Structure 1
Amino acid sequence: MLGYLRDLARARLRPARDLAEHHQVLWLAELPGDVYVEADAGPGDVLFSVPVIPLAPPAVLEEFDGWLALRHWYRILRDLADQEAGGGHEVVLAAGLLSWRPQAGPAVHDHLLSTPVRIVVDGRTERIDVVLAGHTSLRDRELLSGQPAYRPADRVSDAVRAGRGFGLNSSVGDLLREWCSTAFVDGAFAGGDEAAAYREDWAPEPPGAALPAVPRLRLAPALVVRPPGREAVADYHTRMIRLLVNGTAVPEGLARFVAPGGRPHVKHIAETGPGTTQTFLAGLLVLGMRVVVATSGASASGALRAALPPDLAALTVADPAVAADTAEALLARAAAHDPGRHGRHVAALAEREAAADRDVAELRERVGEAETAEATDLGSGYRGGRGELDERLRAEAPDLAWLPVRPDLPPGPPISRAEAAELVVLLAEETPGRKARTAQRDVDPGALPSAPYVRTLIEAEAAAAERAERSGTDLSRRLRDLDVTRLARLDGCASVVAAALRDVGLDGHPGGWNPADLAARAFGDALAHRRPLVWSRVAEMAARADWARRAVAGMGGRRVVLPPGEPDLRRLADAARDLRDYLDGGGTLKRGPLRSAAQRQAEALLGGATVDGEAPTTPELLDLVFTDLMVRMSCQELQYVWDAAGISFPVDPPPADRVIRFARAHARLARVRDAMPAVEETKELLRLSHLSVPLGHPLQWHGYASALASALEGLGVDRAAADLAALRDSIGPVDGDDPPELGAALDAIDARDAAAYGRALGALAEARHERARQIRCEELLGRVRAVHPDLANLLLATDGDDVWQARTRRWDEAWAWARASARLAGTAPSPAAEGLRASLAEAEERLRTVRDDLTSARAWGAALARLAGLDLASAVSASAAPHEVVPAWILPLWRIPDTLPPRPGSFDVVLVDGEHGAGAEALFLLWLAPRILLIGPSGPELPVPDGPAPAVALPDTLQGRLTPTTSLFTLLTQDPEPSPGGDAPEPGAEPEPGAEPEPGATRPDPRAAAPPAPREPVPPPRPAPPEQRAPASPRPEPPGQVRRGRSIVSYKRPELVEFVGRIAAREPDLTDEQIVELAARLLGCPEDEALLVGARLRYAVEAYRSGQ
């Protein structure tokens, strides 16, 4: 398992070799001139400080750059101080920038030396101090491993571990020069170049600078923000593996973790308060425990130690650089320790604590009575006594005191919560360009011509110009010079002719016309004035063709057959007409000599003609025969005139078909002749215009028409240009108060760029939106400034800060708090009540002081009692290691391997103050102590490591339980698989009567005491009475009744197993932890036994599960 954890630590975060891989690099050379860097600062000393910067900029312009630089650094360091409390990164002072691009392997551009720093915000002045904390480390192996030219500088590494090269001390330069002379193999670089050159140079590295082929080393100090390293953790696991190989026993914590069904001693405190960690730490020190506290970083370690009482803090180390001094002070005090006198001192402090507690209780009662008498109403829900209100306002101050207190504030804020959130966004997005929008005229892009319309005009102009250019001729140019009115008349005539030609099917170029087409011949002859009489005669026959068409239609489709041969149509027509008249007059058809003259004249018709197969013996049928004969004669006449014009029609079709063809031909001829007046008018107009244009042939007419169309296209270009000019004039000229986007729109029209005009309209809409937002911003800010100028200045000075998102959510509450604070400050307190409050404050301070003293005295007593068993003389002479003397170490989690040796079980308890992205590789904590106290909520699953998967396989019992993505808290608190064995003995259980005590049994059991609550005295450790031996029976009788309030030590183990078994049987859905919690509530044991109650009940549950 340790091999797996070692590989996992190496894969979790690969070492960075380039400054670009760090979160942030702050070069000390860029600090403002007002900030002094203390180069001789030692461990725990301040490297430099940045005072709190006024929100308002200086009135003197020359001081503005310095103010801006100080504000920039202050905000960066303040953010780092806030972020470091949450973990996830560390801040170090880096020195010795190594730049090198070797021929093989990755380039190196990072610092050799790094010293952890803490960023501390002074609670009173808000000054930010950068404090050196921890040992300096040399990173040459990490940066240069695998390089053939590199030779580990062991002597330099030993010097760094001995304290040389700390921070920016004068020894840093000497140490880096020595490293340059020893870190590379002789002759590693061609040309006899020096192996490495060092310069005492603070200048920052220019971005993008090329790396040299020969190593170059500069001081170049900087604050570097980077993820916590894991290489030391991997080496720590390697050292633990070596110890196991050499015969070292597996520590209890790891043994319980890897055992099937086993579980280490872990307590998880998920819900925490501000003082949870220091409270537990103080309680454990009172019990004489040796403790390691794993924090998120150096700042968190320093803050935790600073929160302890000074005398108690003397038992702890948060900065490894001062560990030797702390251990020496402890040994010196142990040598002079008098247990009896110390016990009397503790007893006296306990009496003083009891008296101070009584005084506080009495004063609180009197203050409560006085506040009831002077209850006041500050508005907005702030009602009550002055002390109650003052305490409430102080409690709410951390979340609401960002709003400046100002007298005479109205009951409600000038803008609502939603408007405040809007104002914060508007200020964060404010730019100089947007601020200038309010001085510009409001231009609505919707009132301007739309982009599609402008595009249509531009494209129409371009198309007209292109067509005019493509079809332009000498004639078109001459026609374009004519008067517009005359051109319009010529266009009208040409349109009439074109419509007529189109109707008769003669559109297009004349070269494609059929020369035999009657319309083409008629149009050509008309243009050339050929055979006008012939075409006049043809045109005159149009009436005859129309009569024949109507006559055929009147016959209703009746079929008339004439006698065979080639009869005389005129004679037959006359005979048919006379016979019809005879019959209409009452005559009848007879035979023989009695036949009338009309009948004898029509014998040929009666004997050879038929109408639909019947002989024409009635007037109606004779009418049809007469009409058919007249139609046939009309066709003969029409055929004659068309033949004279050179147009032939077939004579074989039936009369009805011939009539239709003649009627259609005459209609086309009439359409051509209708267009001829327009042709003549055209000739006249051209003559009047002094243009000699021959129009005697269809080709000449077509050429003229094309030239006229081209001339008209030219006029279209002028019209399109005029439309665009009118459109531009409608927008108007650009004035000084117009937005620049309006000028861009006009320029786009002038450039005939439709896309640019569309973009200009979009930009104009955005400009109008910006103007509206700026007006809104100034309106909201003006409303705030009119009521609260300080708040308006604060909004302006900190615009863009992320904290405003949370602040605006409590806008109304903060306003009410500021108003109540101002009103309370302006309310004159009652002298008597104020005196009582002052007395109460003094009494509470005395109580806190005496409690701190009592806690510290008890912790010192326990620590000195442990040291009393050591041979102090030999310990001092042998220079005992600090980790063997100092009882409590407060260290960043990933700095523990650099500070504490892997000595199994060298501590009693490990407190993990927050998970901070730790995974399974942090299980090395179980090597140091058998018990772990987890403080804070569990985090989410971790991301997959960057490096390769661990090469060492896990044991089967840990498969699925220990994964690269499982967080530390989840790993230690999840329920393991139940073991198949029987009852397991409880670690640390009370010995049976008569049994020999185990070594170290005189030390108080850490599970038997709960850390004191805040501001409460820590109870002294008291030995637990031994349990009575259980009766020698297979199963003891269960207790008849559980009495609440009994001490947990009064219960025998079988009783607790039976008790939790009954709970599990009654509530089968409960988890083991829920059973423990329910059993603890039912037992109601004393509060100071909380840890012991939880431990014994867990072992009872484990025994119950094993026996099922």
Structure 2
Amino acid sequence: MKEVRANEEAFSWLPGPLLANESPLTGAEIDELRALINSASTTSDSRPTRPLPPIDTLLPYSQTLEKLFRRVTTEIATQGAESAQLIQILDGVDPPTAQRVRELCETLDGRVDDVRELEPHFQQLADEVLSGQADYLWARVAGLPALLDAAVQADSVVGHRDVHSSDTSGQALSVLDQLAAALEAGSEWKPGRFFKSEQQKAFEQSGITATIDGSPVSSASAARAAAEHVRALAAIRNAGTLLADLRIPVVTDGSRGFQINSLQSTLRALNQLRAVATARDELASTLRSISLSYPRVRSLTEASSIAGAAGAIATRADVEDARRELDALVRAVSIEFDRAPSPEGDALIRTLAAADTDLFATAGELYILACNETRDQIRLSELESRLSNVAPNLAKLVRSTANDEQWDGIGWGLEKAWAWRRAQEWVIDQHRTGREQELDADLNALDADIAQLTSQLAAASAWRDSLKRMTAIEVQALQTYRDHISNLGMGTGKYAEKYSSAARSAMIEAQSAVPAWVMPLQQVLDSIPAKPNSFDVVIVDEASQADITSLFLLWLAPRVIVVGDDKQCTPSEVSSGALDVIFDRLDLYLHDLPEHVRTTLTPRSSLFSMLRTRFGQVVRLREHFRCMPEIINWSSNQFYRDSPLIPVRQFGADRLPRSLIHMSKARSTQAKARR
């Protein structure tokens, strides 16, 4: 007390009450709390109660994010109306189909470039083929490779020999071919006028002049060379006729090899035209499966325009991939931000979805500031909550005077000031009125708890020991005993005696398993074998209601405790005349007992009265636990005046008012009953 008063001036600045023995905050934490209060903004209170997710763990590196933004915002450039129409058709198409169209456009673009390098008449023919104006004539071009093959094969037979023929017509080819076949079959060339073959005669009559390396034809190999020479030139001439309608010139002068080489170049150019048409048809077939309004290609210009969409398709695919990647990132970030919502987080998600680099950078800076502010607010709330839970007035003082410089000197003395205030509060509490009664009540409550726990512990220990020593045979006997007693019921059935006997048989094994058996009197003989000292102790409750037939209980144990009240109901009433026979038999069979003892052995006597007569020592139980004092006091005054009952049960503060009913006209209708 003296020490509390001595330090009052130094430590009384710390307001009470204090609800803990030690301060929840140190001096450094008090200073931290003051700094957080002073730096808090007007929006701090609206911050979420959990930290905002850090963006550095949710977003990729800035360079990666900027690259993703550029991909998303890339503009898709088109080269013409057909290209723009194709891009529009592909809107919403699945990625594999878009990739297929892109590949077809790239193929068509390459084929168009090849044709652009050809001579103008080939480009003009390409337009006619693509537009369908030369469908029939173009179909005839299919026979051109066979003519070229025939010319090449014939030229390979001639080889490097210098062959000349004055006539290269079809008729000349027939004459030369027949001459070569005859000579190859074994016919000989006859230089004279006689014995010439028909083929030689036809050759000489045709007037054809054919030389091989400057020498006239006179052998089978020479005839064959001349025939193949004419065959090659005829094939080239036929090719020229076939291509004349398509306005494609074919070289028919110069050496045979030069003409064949020129025809090969022409066929190569025509194959390039065919490749353009094939690429166009494949693209059209794919586009037709997507939309019937696909752009038609009828010229090289249109083909070049729609083929130029390959780059746009690739760009579009990359843009869509980037958008999907960005959308997945936005969803992932949104899920984390939803756990701690904030305006800055919402703005960051919007700018992220918009792929705007500048706006996103600004939103990111604001979000980082919000993260720091939220972190400080959470820390402030934590410190202030810890302090206000045990020292609410001190918490209010710190908040209201956070910027006061006096805290710099006294904050570090918080521990001593706290100890002084707790001591001062303890002294005041110990001297207040009613403290002694509270301590007594607490002690009584603890005693009651100890008593209850002790009884529960004793019961649990008893059950544990009983179950530990119980054998399988005893468990089986207990189960069968329960079943037989259940089947016995009221004991009046046809098989009541059978079930009663079975229960007694089970009891022989089950009796030792249970420390104490509780059962009504009428069930004892049905359950317990009639053997002396079957139990250590028999306790009979309400013994004043048990008649003389209950004396067998004394046979079952060496010690018997009877509990009863002679003021309560006795066994069944017996008429006076019925006692005459009973007294006569008592005098006849129990004449050796004293008369005052013998006379108590009648149906009018209870077990309690008989044993009280035999054993004079009676323990009086005066405490009454059941009724309210007003009720039991009537019985106490009526029957127990020499030793009044002590009511233990008391009414509480929520007791209802008593209601008394007075019966002014009550009358007696029977000798032993009232209404």
User: Which of the five TM-score ranges fits, normalised by the shorter chain?
Assistant: 0.3 to 0.5
Taking structure 2 as the reference length, the TM-score comes to 0.38
**Structure ranking higher on relative contact order (CA contacts 8 Å, 6+ apart):** 1
Q: Greater helix share, 1 or 2?
A: 2
**Rg: which structure is higher?**
2
